[in-house]
Amino acid sequence: MTEYSNRSQYPQARADGSLDIDLTSGKYLKLWQGPNHPGITGNMSVELTVCGDEVVEGKTHVGYLHRGFEKLMERRTFIQCFPIVCRICVPEPDFNEYCYAAAVEELAGIEVPEKADWIRTLILEMGRINSYLMYLGGQAGAFGLGVIGQWTTYARDLMLDRFEELTGARIYHMFIMPGGVRDDLPEGFDQRMEETLQEIESTLQDVYDTMFRNAVFKKRAVGLGYVDPAWVDEYGITGPVARGAGVAKDVRRDQPYLVYDRLDFEPVIATESDTYARADVRRRDLLMSVDLIRQILARMPRQGEVMATLPNVLHWKIPRGETYVRGECSRGEYGYYLVTDGSGYPRRVNVRGPSYTHAMTLLEKLIVNVNISNVAGLMVSLHTYPPEIER
């Protein structure tokens, strides 16, 4: 493992422990990476203070995508919130739809038909595959392996075609509604899904050969961004970042929701806890999702309703209460904290995205002493999406 710590003698620590960074000394340079930068994960930025080509301090800046969802939802009825939540996360919007719907159903006491649960699980796994494919392209691209992104984006597009025929939209599906899902699977869906899954598997084999067995990638990813397992609780680390550190933390298994208790799987873990390990966890997790989709299609009931009867949504009121609903998305724990006050509008919705802790405190910790050229790779390895930080 490459030793990154204490490579530079600067900056020196002051007596109180803070860093003695004097911009006028000429030793340091302030460098903004983002928001308009090819090596940034979406529309966000890190304010780097560098000494030579080494980062001595990094501060995450977000808010470029802030639309005030939590405020907007307070003035939308419960059904009107449903189309807006998915916009909180572009690459994997369905988790918002699921968490919101589940929270509303819990507080309103709505029973969801069993088949809807299966279809929801299917959609969440499809979304996970999409998200991971994007990640793989980004992770490879951050280390200069542009071709991986060309392949995975194509594979992801095939999955988007499946999304389109199932949900009627490519990106923002607006399919998981409070009460169930909008519609049943279309005819012949299983067959086309199987073809897509096979294409994805073959793409992944190519990715494995050219990325994971690539000297360049190994050289740069191994040892980069080491996360100590002890930080997992301290920093609220979830998902593949935690699993890459050997902590088998997976909401799907720990607190099974939807139909995960009826599927066979084991959380994927790795112990090296660096960028390479996290990429590998995600690659294997992706393959697991492929398997889960096959299990779902094989086991799900084909008869029955997909939507519960809702009260007239125009005057839908939910009694006072609060709850938290979580799910395991591709980046970690996604959760909705919903407070209702008996009116027709949510009192408060708080969206807890995994990037909130990963891209802020954890990134700022990991980024110290990293070479500038590796900042992008490090950020991607935490798999952050800025809109779920600022909402």
Partner 1 sequence: METLYARLKEPFGLTDWVLQKPDLCFVTVAREQLRPLLLHLRDLEGFTHLVLLTAVDWIEEDRFQLTYLLHDRAKARDIGVRLMLPREDASMDSIHELWPTAATYQRELREMFGIDFPGSPRVNEDFILEGWADLPPYRRDFDTLQYAHEAYAERAGRETRDPARHMKEQLYPDGGQDD
Partner 2 sequence: MKDELEKRLDRRPNDHPQRTALKDIPVREELLPRTVKTPDGQEIRIDPLQDYYCQAGPTVQTPAYTRIIEDLFNWARAESLWILGFGTGCGAIEMRPLMTPRFDAYRYGIQWRPTPRQANLLVISGYLSVKTLKRAIRAYEQMQNPKYVVGLGSCTINGGMYWDSYNTIKCLDEYMPVDLYITGCMPRPEALLQGFDDLKKLIRAGKAEGANRYAENFDWYKTNQKRVIRDWDMPDYSW
Partner 3 sequence: MSVRDLLSPFTAWKNLFREPVSIKDPFNRPASERYRGFHKNDSEKCIGCGTCEAICQNGAIDMLPADGVATQPGDSGLRPRIDYGRCCWCALCVDVCMTGSLTMSNEYKWVEADPDKFRFMPGVDKKHWDDYEDGYRRPDGHRLNAPERIDMPELAPAQRIDSFVEMVTGYTVEQAQLEADRCVTCGICVATCPTHMAIPDYIRAIRDGDYERGLKLLYDSNPFSQICGKVCTRRCETTCAASHEGDPIAIRWLKRHITEQVPHERYREIIGAPGPATGRKIAIVGAGPAGMTAAFDLARAGHQVTVYESESHAGGMTRYGIPEYRLPSDTIQREIDLIVSMGVEMHYNTRVGTDISMQQLQQDNDAVILAIGLWMGRSTRIPGSDHANVFKAVDLLRRIRDGEAIEAPKSLVVIGGGNVAMDIARSMARLQKQQHGEIAVTLTALEDKAHFLADPVEIKESIEEQIHILDSRGPQECVIGDQGGLVGLRTWKVLSIFDEQHRFAPSYDENDEQLHKGEWVIEAIGQMSDVSLLGEELTEQLEWNRGRLQVDDDGRTSESWLWAAGDCVKGPDVVTAVATGHKVAASIEAVFAQQEAQT
Q: Which residues bind partner 2 (CB under 8 A)?
A: 23-26, 30, 35-38, 42-43, 63-68, 71-72, 75, 83-84, 87, 90-91, 134, 149-150, 153-154, 157, 160, 170-172, 387
Q: Is there binding between residue 236 and partner 1 (CB under 8 A)?
A: yes
DSSP label of 19: B
Q: Edge to edge, what strands does the sheet with 54-61 contain?
A: 29-33, 45-51, 54-61
Residue type, 67: R
| From candidates 21, 72, 308, 313, binder to partner 1 by CB under 8 A | 72
Residue 322, strand partner residues: 339
CB nearer to partner 2: give 255 or 343.
343
Residue 352 binding result from partner 2, partner 1, partner 3, none, given CB thresholds of 5 to 8 Å by partner type: partner 1
In whole angstroms, give the CA distance from residue 12 to residue 243.
Answer: 34
Number of alpha carbons in the 13 Å side-chain half-sphere of residue 68: 5
Shorter beta-carbon distance to partner 3: residue 81 or 133:
81
Residue from 22, 63, 311, 319 that binds partner 1 (CB under 8 A)? 63
**For residues 121-138, b (16+ Cβ closer than 10 Å) or e, as one string?**
bbbbbbbbbbbbbbbbbb
Helices (H), the chain: 69-74, 78-85, 94-108, 114-142, 146-167, 189-207, 215-221, 231-234, 239-244, 251-254, 275-299, 355-357, 363-366, 372-381, 387-390
SS3 content of the chain, % helix, strand, coil (to 5): 50, 15, 40
The residue (of 88 and 251) whose beta carbon lies closer to partner 2 is: 88
Q: What are phi and psi of 304, to 5 degrees?
A: 110, 175
Single residue of 84, 321, 344, 372 touching partner 1 by CB under 8 A: 321
In the list partner 1, partner 3, partner 2, none, the entry touching 31 (Cβ below 5 to 8 angstroms by class) is: none
How far apart are CB 243 and partner 2 at their closest, in Å?
25
Residue 113 interacts with partner 1 (CB under 8 A): yes or no: no
- Contact partner at residue 25 from partner 3, partner 2, partner 1, none, CB < 5 to 8 Å by partner kind: partner 2
**Residue among 250, 262, 245 at smallest CA distance from 328:** 250
| Contact between 225 and partner 1 per CB under 8 A | no
Q: Return the residue of 76, 156, 252, 352 that touches partner 1, per CB under 8 A.
A: 352
Binding site for partner 1 (CB under 8 A): 62-63, 66, 68, 70-72, 74-75, 106, 232-236, 249, 254-255, 321-324, 326, 333, 335, 337, 339, 347-348, 350, 352, 356-357, 360-362, 365, 390
